[in-house]
Structure 1
Amino acid sequence: MILADILSIILRLAELAFAAIVAGLTGVYLAANKGASSWSLGRFIYTEIVAGLSIIFAIVWLFPFSGSFIHWPTDFIISVMWFVAFGLMVDWLNGACGNVFNWDGITINDNNTCSQWKANVAFAFLSAIVWLVSAILGIYWVRRHTRTHRSTVPVATTHRRRWYRSRV
């Protein structure tokens, strides 16, 4: 199972990196629109919260313990939250920068906001996929571990006679 531990560490590092990128890009946008109403910035606040939770959980679960595999329900929930954040950002772009997955003409500079938003959307999608793969790995590990554990543990009795009662 060392392969599962190594894969888990790689996935947690990717989760951490992708969440940090999305948190940074979304944070820049929130800082630039500081005076706007929180209602109009709701999708970005949600994305920032999901990124923050992802950073916290990825750091805590980065350590390679077998207990990190039992958190697969949380991994799955965070994956769903990332897919929602991805959908909210794609909906907000609404084709303003062209097709979301069309990367023609993307350059790295400070003045190209379409490049920043496409990177933000792409890393949100990648984060959702990585959290989902981490949940699937956790399900695999837990099912394999419990199946092996069940076959080696003897069945416990449900009724135990007290020592002070005689059968006379």
Structure 2
Amino acid sequence: MILSRAFSIFFRFGEFVCAAVVLGIVAYFINQYDEFGVGPLGREIYAIVIASLSVLFSLIWMIPTTASMMHYPIDLLFSAAWFAAFGVLVNWINRVNCGGIFHWGGITRRGSYCGQWKAAEAFSFISAIFWLASFLLGVVVYHKLRRDPVATDGS
């Protein structure tokens, strides 16, 4: 049980970090949209809502209790939401001149629109994987707890 709690904390921390990174990048893009009117506002709003909820729930569920692993259906929903966020971000990159989805050249240039957008894509995908791993861990722990016999006083 101690190993599952350690993995749970690791996954929740990963979810938090990825969501915070996406939240920061997309908040910057929304600010740019507010100033210049350029960008896919609907996609950005979706990504920022998912990132905000993920930051909140991952922080709450980072507290190491067995109950924090019993939210595995919600972990699956968050994973699907993050895969959808990844999809809408990838779909937008096809419409601008940033190269292919997996063309990572120039990503390290400071202030690069394409680099920042691709970083948001990458962290949204990684976040989806962390949420999926939390879901799988929750399923394993839930079924293990259901199988373990309960000690009674014999009456």
TM over 0.5: yes
Deviation at 1:69, TM superposition (A): 0.9
Larger Rg belongs to: 1
Residue number in structure 2 paired with 1:97: 98
Q: CA RMSD in A?
A: 1.9
Q: What is the aligned-residue identity percentage?
A: 40
Deviation at 1:101, TM superposition (A): 2.2
Residue number in structure 1 paired with 2:114: 114
Matched, 1:28 2:31: no
AA aligned opposite 2:79: S
Matched, 1:128 2:128: yes
Residue number in structure 2 paired with 1:10: 10
3-state SS in 1 of match to 2:70: helix
Residue number in structure 2 paired with 1:70: 70
Deviation at 1:153, TM superposition (A): 6.5
| 8 Å Cα contact 2:16-2:59 kept in structure 1 | yes
**Structure 1 stretches of at least 4 aligned residues deviating more than 3 Å after TM superposition:** 151-154
Structure 1 unaligned segments of length 5 or more: list them.
Answer: 155-168
| 8 Å Cα contact 2:82-2:128 kept in structure 1 | yes
AA aligned opposite 2:135: A
Aligned counterparts of 2:151 and 2:71: Cα–Cα separation in 1: 24
3-state SS in 2 of match to 1:105: coil
AA aligned opposite 1:119: A
Structure 2 unaligned segments of length 5 or more: list them.
Answer: none
| 8 Å Cα contact 2:89-2:121 kept in structure 1 | yes
Residue number in structure 2 paired with 1:137: 137
Matched, 1:59 2:59: yes
Deviation at 1:103, TM superposition (A): 1.8
Residue number in structure 2 paired with 1:88: 88
Aligned counterparts of 2:76 and 2:109: Cα–Cα separation in 1: 33
| 8 Å Cα contact 2:107-2:116 kept in structure 1 | no
Aligned counterparts of 1:43 and 1:76: Cα–Cα separation in 2: 21
Aligned counterparts of 2:136 and 2:98: Cα–Cα separation in 1: 33
Deviation at 1:2, TM superposition (A): 0.6
Aligned counterparts of 2:104 and 2:42: Cα–Cα separation in 1: 27
Residue number in structure 2 paired with 1:157: none
Say how many residue pairs are matched: 150
Aligned counterparts of 2:114 and 2:123: Cα–Cα separation in 1: 14
Q: Residues 58-98 of structure 1: CA distance to partner in whole angstroms, max 9, x if unpaired?
A: 01000000001110000000010000010001001116312
| 8 Å Cα contact 2:54-2:78 kept in structure 1 | yes
Calculate the TM-score normalised by the size of structure 2. Answer: 0.90
